[in-house]
Amino acid sequence: MKVLQVSAEIFPLLKTGGLADIAGALPYALHRVGCVVRVLLPGFPAIMADLTDATVLTELTAPWGEHVRVLQGRLATLAQDAYIIDVPGLYARAGSPYEDANRKPYADNYLRFALLGWVAACLANGLDPHWQPRVVHSHDWHAGLTSAYMAFLPQRTQRAATVYTVHNLAYQGLFAPACFSELGLPQQAYVDHGLEFYGQVSFMKAGLHYADHITTVSPTYAHEIQTPEQGCGLDGLLRRRSGVLSGILNAVDGTIWNPAIDPNIIHRFDAADRSGKALCKASFQQSVGLDVRPDALLFGIVSRLTEQKGLHLVLSTLHAILSRGGQLVVLGTGDSAFESAFCERAAAYPQSVSVRIGYDEAYAHRVFAATDVTMVPSRFEPCGLTQMYGLKYGSLPLVHRVGGLADTIADCSLEDMADGLANGFVFDLFTPQALERALRRAFVLYSRPNDWNTVQERGMKTPLGWDHAAAQYMALYQQLCA
């Protein structure tokens, strides 16, 4: 089955979050179950630099008059066939693919990503006479207009089925209503059952309304986004479309996230022999200036530093970690207030708190390998990959019971310990008090080495690979194409 994957980023070439990890791993997983996948990406500098054997498939004029070259070639690092939208005026910009140097969204983002959806629709409609997708699978708001354009373009070929995956409903791609006139869609698309969202243009809503099927990245999140609390104003639409909405849990690429073969860490280890993890912890503590103490419970945060991630709860309960002799390492970037607050704590407690602002993929691997506990206290979390990385590296996740965190982590309660299910620490209420009780459970379990080792080994053996998810996607594609 031929599948066109449409996304704004792809690991390892361009990554701002978990979307890139999924976009990079899913084509390989689908290939193993019988799919032939090609990816469509904007021509950002990192993407263009990796493109080999490139030829011009065609040249087009976008609805708003932009001259567009569509390239066809192969991404060398991924060994992946790809279509690339080559418009330097839109994509050849330094820094983030979405924001300028001052972290302000580019004013023309609505055109930059409308073009992604429009070219995807053209490819679905026979743009490449030698390769016709049966399914077009688009991801997040950046590709949200794909199925809208497909709904209104005159059909020249057999219509491809459309799947739209929501990675985070909170990021919706909202633009001023004046932008709509440039998109090349008919006026009937700018209605309540279309792109209009409280007087704005919503790329996310377009994907949710026009796609044949909607998926989210965990079963629990698929239910949560149908509620007013987590529906971000779109819960009514999602309830109406609940019959074509499902959750497929994300997975982990074991060729990249595997402490037994990871080139980014100093000492390799696995579930059967975890002695290398203690060595990773000691060398990491020394390298970042923390007290080198094996008895110090080392907590790690690898995250965007935003309110969604529950980091104000961490700041409120840091005393509970430090007063019990624990340590904290933070890697991330985001809101300046959170960056400053964590840096201030590191300056005040240099032997117990280490903070690195920014994102460094290799350093992230070192954090997971060194830490005892991975903290993911998010207010909401569609799936979360961080807790899965923690499990793989023997860093027991401490999470809020929401979304994919609820689907992957079982608390170290007495009953879950007795049933052989426990693989981390879970709190229910989104309060500092609830988080602090979970922290206490972590310290208590760490003081009981036999129980800690049992839970750690179980966590590392948790099946987190892509085979199951890929089979679910394949079954969905076959159902849509039947």
Strands (E), 227-270: 245-247
**What is the SS3 assignment for 279?**
helix
Please tell me the predicted confidence (pLDDT) of residue 4.
Answer: 98
Q: How much is the average pLDDT of 218-239?
A: 97
pLDDT band at 157; cut points 50, 70, 90: confident
78-95 residues labelled b (16+ CB within 10 A) or e (exposed): bebbbbbbbbeebbebee
Tell me the β-bridge partners of 334. 305
| Token pair 């080392």 in the structure block, residue | 298
User: Where residue 103 falls among pLDDT bands split at 50, 70, 90?
Assistant: confident
| Mean pLDDT in residue range 41-49 | 98
Q: If we measure between CA atoms, which residue out of 434, 461, 315, 314 comes closest to residue 374?
A: 314
**Is residue 267 helix, strand or coil?**
coil
Alpha helices in 2-71 (DSSP H): 18-32, 45-50
How far is the C-alpha of 424 from the C-alpha of 90, rounded, in Å?
A: 44
Do you find a cis peptide bond into 12, omega within 30 degrees of 0? yes
Average pLDDT over residues 378-395: 97
The reported pLDDT for the residue numbered 101 is 86
Q: Name the pLDDT band for 102 (thresholds 50, 70, 90).
A: confident
Phi/psi at 373 (nearest 5 deg)?
Answer: -135, 130
Instruction: Supply the angle between the helices 336-348 and 311-322 in degrees, to the nearest 10.
Output: 10
The residues with which 364 forms a beta bridge, in sequence order, are none
pLDDT at site 158 = 84
327, 297 contact by CB (below 8 A): yes
For each of the domains in the chain, give its residue range(s) and CATH number, in order of start. 2-251+466-481 (3.40.50.2000), 275-460 (3.40.50.2000)
What is the percent of the chain with per-residue pLDDT over 70, rounded to a whole number? 100
Q: What is the mean pLDDT of residues 428-455?
A: 98
First to last CA, the chain: 12
The DSSP result for 310-324, as a single string, is THHHHHHHHHHHHTT
pLDDT value for 154: 83
Q: What is the pLDDT of residues 116-133, one digit of tens each?
A: 999 999 999 999 999 999
Q: What is the pLDDT of residue 120?
A: 98
> Above 80 in pLDDT, residue 410?
yes
pLDDT of residue 17: 86
Q: What is the mean pLDDT of the chain?
A: 97
Q: With a cut of 80, say whether residue 156 has pLDDT above it.
A: no
DSSP 3-state of 132:
coil
Q: Of 356, 387, 358, which Cα lies nearest the Cα of 462?
A: 387
Which residue bears the tokens 């279509």? 83
| CB count in 10 Å sphere of residue 248 | 21
Strand partners, 59: 69
pLDDT of residue 377: 98
200-202 sheet: strands from edge to edge? 174-175, 200-202, 196-197
Phi, psi values for residue 382, rounded to 5°: -50, -50
In the DSSP assignment, the letter for residue 106 is: P
In tens, the pLDDT along 169-208 reads 999 999 999 999 999 999 999 999 999 999 999 999 999 9
Tokens of 114: 């409308």
User: Which 8-state DSSP code applies to residue 449?
Assistant: H
Taking a C-beta distance cutoff of 8 angstroms, is the pair 119, 87 a contact?
no
pLDDT at residue 43 in the model: 98
Q: What's the pTM value of the predicted model, to 2 decimals?
A: 0.93
Query: What percent of the chain lies above the pLDDT cut of 90?
Result: 96
pLDDT tens readout for residues 82-94: 999 999 999 999 8
Sheet holding 327-334, edge to edge: 353-357, 327-334, 298-305, 373-376, 396-400, 425-427
134: left (phi over 0), alpha (psi -120 to 50) or beta: alpha
* DSSP-based helix, strand, coil % in the chain, nearest 5: 40, 20, 40
pLDDT digits (tens, 9 = 90+) for 324-359: 999 999 999 999 999 999 999 999 999 999 999 998
